[in-house]
Structure 1
Amino acid sequence: MLNRRNVLQGIAAGAGLSLLPEALLASPKSSSPATSGSPKRIVFFLQNQGFDPATCIPSEMTTSGSLAKAQLPEPIQALEPYKERLHIISGLHGLHTSPSHSAFFGALGGFRGGDGTPPSAATIDYELSKVLPPTLLPHLCIGMDSMENMTSKPTIATLSASGAGQPIFMHSNPNHLYQMLYGGISTGDIRQQHEARSNVLNQIERLAAAKGESLPVGDKERYGQFVQGFKDVNGLRDRLDTVAAHLQKFAPKVDERYTKPQFETDWHDCLLDLGISALAAGITNTLTIGSGRGEIFGAWKGLGIEQQGHNLGHMQQPGNPIWIKIRQYNTRMLVRIMEALEGVPEGSGTMMDNTLIVYTSNNADKQHTSGANWPVMLLGNCGGIFKTGCFTRLDGKRPINALYATLLRAAGQNVERFNMTEQLARKFDNQTGPLQEVLA
C-alpha cells in the first residue's frame, strides 16, 4: 500500500547521487605520455575490519613472482581458476590516512580519515568515473551491512566523495535501488511506487528551487547544492526512461529476497545483482561496493556466522573459520562479477576484458592498524594494461595514493600523484609517478 512515508523513504538515497563541483587533483598534471589503451569500467570492493595479507598471499611465496605454480590460500580459493587474471599486492601503506577502525573517506581518497571526519578531496572512484567512457550514472555505490543497519539507514556516506566536504551516498536497500534503476520499466506495485516517488521528487525540486531564492548568498549556495541533488535524480530517471527497451534485457528478477529476506546476505546478494546489472547494461562505469559500509559493523548470519560488528575486527583473520567464510563469500562475489561481464560481448571480446576490479579493505590489514601494510588484489588486465598472474611484494615506502595515480594513468590522465601535496609526499612517498610493478 502506498503512503507518503513509503514514498519519501527513498528520497535521501536519490539526493546522494548529486555529483557537485568537480574536485581538482592534488598535484599538477605531468607532460609524460599516458599508458596506451584504457579501462572502460572499474569496480572497487572494500571489506571492513582489515585485509590480513596472510589470507591472500600463497604461503610458499616470500618474494614477488608468478602465481602459476602457487596454491591460493583457502580464504580466496574461489579465485584459483582465475589466478592468471589476478595480481596480489602487499607492501603499499596508508600511514597518513589514520585507518585504525577505518580510514573512511581516506581509504579511497588517500588522505587523513576518521569517524565523523568529512572528506578533504574527491576519492579515486569518483575521479575515475569522470574520465572513463560516459554512462547514464557514472558512479554507483552500494553498501552491505546488518539487516538492522540497512533498514534503519538505507543510505550512508562513508567511503566515496566528489570533493572536499561532498560525500557520495551508498545504497543499502535493494528495493529503493531497484526502483531508482528499473522502476520505469516495472509493473504493478513497483511501477506505482516509482511513479509516486517521481511525482514527489519533481514537486520537491520545484518547491526547493523557489524557496531558496530568498536566502542569504552563503546559505543560497549550500541550498543550491541540495536542489541540484533532486535535479540530478530527476534527470537520471528521464535518461533511464529513454533506454527502457535496452534496460529490460538486464533488470534482475525481483523475488522474495527483496521483500522477505531471511538473512542480511539475501540483501547483499540482491545489491550485488543490481550493481552487476548496472555495469552490464552500461548504466554506470564505476561501481563501489562497501561490505560493512566503511564502518566497524557488518553481519553475515546467512553464512552461519552469529558474531557481528566490532568484535569481528578483534579476531585474528589467518586460519579463523569465521574470516575464511567472509573472505570466501567476498571472492565468490568477485567471481560473479567476472562471470557476468564475461557473458556480455564488447568489441572483439567481452566486458570483462575491459574491466578492472580492485579488492581491498577500508582499514588496511587489520583493526587498530597503523596502515603500514595495505594489501590489494587486482583482477583483470584491461587489454594488457595491467600485469596479472603474479604476486608483488613492495617495500612499504609507497602509499595507496601511488596505486590510485596508476589507475588514473591507465585511464589516460597524466598525473604524477593523487591527493598528495609535495610536502606530504616528501614524508610518505619515496618516488613519483605510477607503480611500474602494476603496469604491464
Structure 2
Amino acid sequence: MTHGGRISRRTVLRGLGTVVSLPFLEAMRPQLLANAAAAAGQAASPRRLAFIYVPNGAIMDDWTPTSEGAGFELPAILQPLAPYRDEMLVLSELTCDKARPNGDGAGDHARASSAFLTGCQARKTAGANFRSGISADQVVATRLGDRTRLSSLELGIERYRGTGNCDSGYSCVYEHTMSWRSSTSPLPNEVDPRLVFERLFSDQSNDPGRLKRNRLRASVLDAVIADARGLEGRLGGADRQKLDQYLTCVRELELRIARAESLPPIQPPAGAVRPESVPADLAEHFHLMCDLMVLAFQTDVTRVATCMFGREGSELRYKMVGVSEGHHELTHHRGDPDKIDKVRSINTFHIQQFAYLIGKLKSIPEGEGTLLDNCMIAYGSGNSDGNRHTHDNLPILVAGKGGGSLKTGRHIRFPKETPVNNLWLSLLDRMGARLEQLGDSTGHLEGLA
C-alpha cells in the first residue's frame, strides 16, 4: 500500500500462507514524520521493549561496578559488554521483595521469576489455582498490541512445564514463565526456533492448514518473491540494498534453523527433557532465539518481548564453557572457590549472549540511528546471591536509548530496597503505557533521562 508515492509502514510481502513484514525503509519516513508531527512529540520510529531473564542470580562481587556515574569500569562478568558500555545502564540496589518468603517459607526460585515482572506475591500452591499478577510486558501488550501483528512474543531456552510441584510446594508454572496476561493467566515460552519463525511469517488470516503448507515449502521467501520484486521497483537504491540485506538475513536464519534441526541430539542430563526440534548446540539455540527477537523488532511484528535464558532453579549444564555440573547446584557453593568460578563462567556466558543480542540490534540502521537506539532491553534476575537466596541489589541492566529517552553509559545506585517494579513503571512510561502502580511499585525512578 502506498500513500502519494510513499510506502506505508504496514506494507508486507504476501505469498501462499506467508506474510513477510518489512524493516524500516527511507520510503516510509515521510509518512512517519507526518504522523509524528500530528501526534505531539511521538517518535518517528516505534520504541520496543524486551525483558531478558537469567536464573539463579549472579556472583555479585564480579557483577557490580565499584564506581558510579559515567566513569565506571566494567567488572569481570560484564566485560563482554565493553563494546556497548555507552549503550547501557547498570542499575544497583533494585529489589524484588515479593520473591522473599513474606511468611510463605521455602520456594525462592518460584517466587523470583513469578514476581520479577509482576511485583506480586505468588500464591503458594502446586495445583491449578496458581495466582500472581499482570506482568510489565503484558501491560504493554494490552495497551499497544493492536498496533502490531503480534501483541507480544514470549521466548525461552528450556521447555515449558505448567503442572506439578517444582519448588517447595509451588507450581512449576511459576518457575517456567515470567509473563502473566492476568493474575491467573501465565503465558508459556516458545523454545522451538522453527515454531517462532513460522509464527513471525505465517499468514494468520489463512486456514489452520497454513503451518503444514509452510513446512512443505522450501522457504518463506520463495512464496513472496514476486511481491518483493514488485516492491523493489518503487524503492530508491539505498532502500533496495536494505531490503536485499534484510531478505538475505531472513534466508540465512531459515537455513540456520534447518541446519540446527538436522544435527544429532546431545544426550541430556538425567531428569532433563528438551523438545526434539530445538538445536542440539545450546549456544546456537541462544543465538537463534536472539536473532528471532531482533527480526520481530526490526519488522515491527511486535514491540514487546520476553526471553528466559533459563527457568528458575535451572540445572542446565554449560559444557561449552567447561561446566558439567548443573547451574542451580553450583549456585549453592557455600564459599567453594571452584564452584564460584564455575558460576562466574555461567554468568559471563549469559552476558556474552546478551552482548550478541545488543550487537545485532546495533548493527541494523533505523531512521537517523540504529534499531538499538529505539529499544529498551532489560536484563536481570529475581535472585541476586543464589547461594543465600537474596532478592535485594539484583543484577539489572538496561541497554538501548529508548528513542532518546534514556541517558545511557552510566552506573546508577538507587536507595536500598527500591522496588524493581519502579524501573518497569519508568520503562512503561517511555512505551506510552503509563501506570501509576504495578505490583509493589512505589513510584517512577528519577535520574534515567
TM-score band by shorter chain is 0.5 to 0.7
Q: From the superposition, tell whether residues 317 and 359 of structure 1 become closer, same or farther in structure 2 (CA, over 3 Å).
A: farther
Q: Is the 8 A contact 2:313 2:328 kept in 1?
A: no
Correspondence for 2:51 among 44, 47, 52: 44
Cα deviation for residue 165 of structure 1 reads: 0.8
C-alpha spacing 1:387/1:358, structure 2 compared with 1 (3 Å): same
Equivalent-residue separation in structure 2 for 1:360 and 1:115 (angstroms): 25
Q: Matched residues in 2 for 1:377 and 1:281: separation?
A: 25
TM-score, normalisation: structure 2: 0.66
Q: Tell me which residue corresponds to 2:139.
A: 127
Query: Residue 157 of structure 2 aligns with which residue?
Result: 144
Instruction: Give 1:348's aligned residue.
Output: 368
Amino acid at match of 2:61: A
Match of 2:381 in 1: 361
Matches of 1:150 and 1:385, distance apart in 2: 35
Residue 83 of structure 1 is aligned with which of 85, 91, 103?
Answer: 85
8 Å contact 1:278–1:284 — kept in the other structure? yes
Provide the secondary structure at the position in 1 that maps to 2:189: strand
Query: For residues 46 and 318 of structure 1, do their structure 2 counterparts lie closer, same or farther at Cα, with a shift above 3 Å needed?
Result: farther
Whether 1:65 and 2:69 are equivalent positions in the alignment is yes
Deviation for aligned residue 1:120: 2.7
CA offset at residue 249 of structure 1?
5.2
SS for the counterpart of 2:315 is coil
Alignment of 1:273-284 (within 5 A): 273-284=291-302
Decide which moves more: 316-325 or 335-344.
316-325
1:311 Cα deviation (Å)? 0.3
* TM-fit CA distance, 1:290: 0.4
Offset from partner CA, 1:388-434 (integer Å, 9 cap, x none): 211122222321121111112222344222124xxxxxxxx6xx421
Which of 86, 105, 109 is equivalent to 1:101? Answer: 109
In 2, Cα distance between the equivalents of 1:167 and 1:243?
A: 40
Cα gap change, 1:112/1:317 in structure 2, threshold over 3 Å: closer, same or farther? farther
1:112 aligns with 2:121: yes
Partner Cα distance (2:326, 2:410) in 1: 33
Are residue 434 (structure 1) and residue 444 (structure 2) matched? Answer: yes
Aligned-residue offset at 1:333: 2.1
Q: TM-score, normalised by structure 1?
A: 0.67
- How far apart in 2 are the matches of 1:405 and 1:110? 11
Q: Does 1:266 align with 2:284?
A: yes
The percent of aligned pairs where both chains have the same amino acid is 24
5+ residue gaps, structure 2, are 1-39, 101-106, 164-171, 204-208, 229-242, 264-278
Which segments of 5 or more consecutive residues in structure 1 lack a partner in the other structure?
1-33, 185-191, 200-236, 421-428
The answer to which structure has the higher helix fraction is 1
The one-letter code of the counterpart of 2:260 is R
Number of matched residues? 342
Deviations 1:61-106 (A, max 9, x none): 2xx322x3x3311211011121112211111111223372242321
Deviations 1:309-339 (A, max 9, x none): 4303313699933233322222222222222
For CA contacts below 8 A with separation 6 or more, give which structure has more relative contact order: 1
Q: 1:305 aligns with which of 323, 343, 350?
A: 323
RMSD of equivalent CA atoms? 3.8
> Could you tell me which residue of structure 2 aligns to residue 407 of structure 1?
427
Which amino acid in the other structure matches residue 336 of structure 1?
Answer: Y
Rounded Cα–Cα distance in structure 1 between residues aligned with 2:310 and 2:404: 32
Work out the CA distance in 1 between the residues paired with 2:116 and 2:365.
33
Q: Does 1:416 align with 2:433?
A: no
